[in-house]
Amino acid sequence: MTLGFGVASSVVVIILAAPARTTDPITRNILPVEVVILPDARDGARLVADAITALVADRPDAVLGLATGSTPEPVYQELVRRQQAGAVDLSATTGFLLDEYVGLRPGHPASYRAVIDRQVIAPLGMTADRVSGPDGGAADLQAACRDYERRIAAAGGVDLQLLGLGADGHIGFNEPSSSLGSRTRLKTLTERTRHDNARFFDGDAAAVPQHVLTQGVGTILEASHIVLLAWGEAKAEAVARLVEGPITAMVPASALQLHPHATVVVDTPAASALALRDYYEAVFAAKPGWQGI
Ligand code: F6R
C-alpha cells in the first residue's frame, strides 16, 4: 500500500508500507547470504576451487566471472595446481572480467586483462578469445560498455562469479553510492581505492587511473552463483556491513543480500566484526557435505 510520496531533486521517493512478515520457509531462506568462516585464505581457496571443480565437471564450458586484485589469487593458484595434477580441466570455460582501468596502454602489466592473462588464461590453458573484459581503451567507452553487456548475455550469463571486496564495500569497481541496479559503465575511483591499489603501480597512487569500466551491481547480481572472498582484518568492517548491515548503495556489496545464491567466504580475521559469527560457524559445521557451497 502506498502511504505517501515526495520529490527530492530528481529522485521520486515512494514510501510503501512494509510487507507482512512471511513465514514461508523458501522465501526466508533465500534472503541472507551464506557465510563460511575458515582459518585462512588457503582453506578458503580450496573450498572455492571445489565449487568450481564441481561446476566444470558438470559443465566443461561453464562461464566464470573473474575478479582481479590480491584476493582471488589463492583460488587461481589452487586451480592451476589441480589442473596440473589433472584433477580439473578449465580449458573449455569462458571467462568475463569484472572491470578494467580506463586509459592504460595496451598490455600494461597492471591492466586487469594482463593480470588475468598471467594468472588464469595462460596457466589454465584457456582460449584467450573466450575471455573478455570491458575495453578500457575504446574510443567510445559507452559503446564498449553496451557491447560488454551484450557479450555476457550472448554467452548465457555467468555461472559462477568470483568477487573480492573493497575496504569501502565496493564490488567490481562499484564505489559507494553506486546504483544497486547499475549496468556496465564508466566509474570514478575514490581516493581510498586508488591509494589501496597503488601497490600494483609501484606504490604510486597518482599512477592509478581515475576512471574504470565496471560491471554494474545489477549486472553482477545476474550471475547464477556469487562467491565473494575476503581475507584479513582490513576487510572485517566491510564484511560485517555487507552481511549484517542494511542493503544500501553506500555499501554496494550489501546488494548480495538480495541474491538467491550468494556465498561469502572469509578467513577468521575478516570475520572478526560479524555479530553472528558463532551462528555462521555452527550452520556451516552442520551442513551436509554434499551440498557444497
Ligand atoms: C577487482 C575488483 C575489486 C577488488 C577489490 C579488492 O576486479 O573488482 O572489487 O576485488 O578492490 O581488491 P583486493 O583483492 O586487491 O583487496
220 within 8 A of 134, measured Cβ to Cβ: no
Indicate the pLDDT class of residue 12, thresholds 50, 70 and 90.
Answer: very low
Per the CB < 8 A criterion, the answer to whether 75 and 60 are in contact is no
The number of domains in the chain is: 1
Q: Give a yes or no: residue 58 inside a domain.
A: yes
CA 9 – ligand 1 centroid, Å: 33
Residue 119 lies in a domain: yes
Q: Is 184 exposed, middle or buried (CB count within 10 Å of its CB: 0-12, 13-18, 19+)?
A: buried
When pLDDT is cut at 50, 70 and 90, the band that residue 289 belongs to is confident
At 70, list the grid cell.
Answer: 590480491
Q: Residue 101: is it exposed, middle or buried by C-beta count within 10 angstroms (0-12/13-18/19+)?
A: buried
How many residues does this entry show for the chain?
A: 293
What's the gap in Å between 226 CA and the centre of ligand 1? 15
Query: 209 CB under 6 A from ligand 1?
Result: no
Residue pLDDT, tens place only, 15-56: 333 333 333 334 434 447 999 999 999 999 999 999 999 999
- Within a domain: residue 245? yes
Distance of CA 62 to the CA centre of its chain: 17
Please report which confidence band the pLDDT of residue 4 belongs to, taking 50, 70 and 90 as the band edges: very low
Nearest CA to ligand 1 atom 12: 69
Cβ 241 under 6 angstroms from ligand 1: no
CA of 197 to the centre of ligand 1 (A): 9
Taking only the tens place, the pLDDT of each residue in 127-154 is 999 999 999 999 999 999 999 999 999 9
Q: What is the pLDDT of residues 55-73, one digit of tens each?
A: 999 999 999 999 999 999 9
Q: Is residue 80 part of a domain?
A: yes
Residue 43 lies in a domain: yes
- pLDDT average, residue stretch 168-177: 98
Q: Which residue type, as a one-letter code, is found at position 68? A: T
* DSSP H stretches of helix in 155-233: 191-196, 217-220
Residue 13 has a pLDDT of 38
Domain presence at residue 16: no
Q: Is 99 in the pocket of ligand 1 (CB under 6 A)?
A: yes
State the Cα–Cα distance between residues 29 and 203, nearest whole angstrom. Answer: 44
Helix, coil or strand: residue 230: strand
pLDDT for 291 equals 86
The reply to whether ligand 1 has any atom less than 6 angstroms from the CB of 69 is yes
In CATH, what number is assigned to the domain containing residue 161?
A: 3.40.50.1360
User: How many angstroms does the Cα of residue 113 sit away from the middle of ligand 1?
Assistant: 14
Ligand 1 centre to CA of 166 (Å) is 6
Work out the burial of residue 262: count CB atoms within 10 Å of its CB; fewer than 13 is exposed, 13-18 middle, 19 or more buried. buried
Ligand 1 pocket residue status of 239, Cβ below 6 Å: no
Could you tell me the residue range of the domain that residue 145 belongs to?
Answer: 24-291
Q: Is there an atom of ligand 1 within 6 Å of 95 CB? A: no
- The reply to whether ligand 1 has any atom less than 6 angstroms from the CB of 174 is no
The more confidently predicted of residues 290 and 230 is 230
Q: Is residue 1 in some structural domain?
A: no
Instruction: Specify the pLDDT at position 290.
Output: 87
- Top mutation candidate among 64, 96, 98, 132 for ligand 1, by most atoms within 8 Å of CB: 98
CA distance from start to end of the chain: 37
Is 168 assigned a catalytic role?
A: yes
Contact 82, 52 (CB under 8 A): no
Q: Is the pLDDT of residue 272 over 70?
A: yes
Given the residues 135, 149, 170, 259, select the one marked as catalytic: 170
161: its cell numbers:
562469479
Domain-located, residue 13: no
CB-based burial of residue 19 (10 Å sphere; 0-12 exposed, 13-18 middle, 19+ buried)?
A: exposed
Assess whether 204 carries a catalytic annotation: no
